Amino acid sequence: MDWLFYLFLTAIFYVYRLVSLKSRTEQERIGSTPVFFSTLGFFAIFEFVFADSLFRLPLFHVLGLIFSFAYAFTIYIYLRNLKKEVEVIFEKLVKQSQGKVSVLTFMQRTNMTKDEAMDYLDGKLRQLPGITYETLGNIYYEFDHW
């Protein structure tokens, strides 16, 4: 009975963490912090459900820690696979901003350096008609046909 309750709680927590972290992947780079907190969360659930066996079966709680790391690792792999490719990010930014793409925004979304982002956008400027301009220190690329 304890196992069913544990599996139910972890499944709910797992889905909640995936949904909340999935929305963040498009906005920012995913590091080790969400995985760390997921591990702590899963382990806390395990310890809460099986607290009565803490002193009788200490090795049993090591199993909970292993499960927690396994769950967190799958979250980490899942989130890394959600990262969009550069071309998809570029198309999304162009559509959202009606043809204007800021170098800074593009750098943040793709995790590129300034030089890499500008090289990529310059290449797109050669493929698609448009202009580049600077406003208040930020460089913009404006594409005519988006």
Range in 30-44, 45-59, 77-91, 119-133 the model is least confident about: 30-44
Tell me, what amino acid is at 10? T
Cα 111–chain centre separation: 12
Question: Is 108 within 8 Å of 89 (Cβ atoms)?
Answer: no
For the stretch 92-127, pLDDT in tens is 889 988 889 999 988 888 777 888 889 889 988 888
Residues 3-25: what's their mean pLDDT?
Answer: 70
Give the pLDDT score at 102: 92
Question: Is 140 within 8 Å of 104 (Cβ atoms)?
Answer: no
Average pLDDT, the chain: 76
Rounded to 5°, the CA angle 42-47-53 comes to: 145
Three-state DSSP at 101 gives strand
Beta partners for residue 28, in sequence order: none
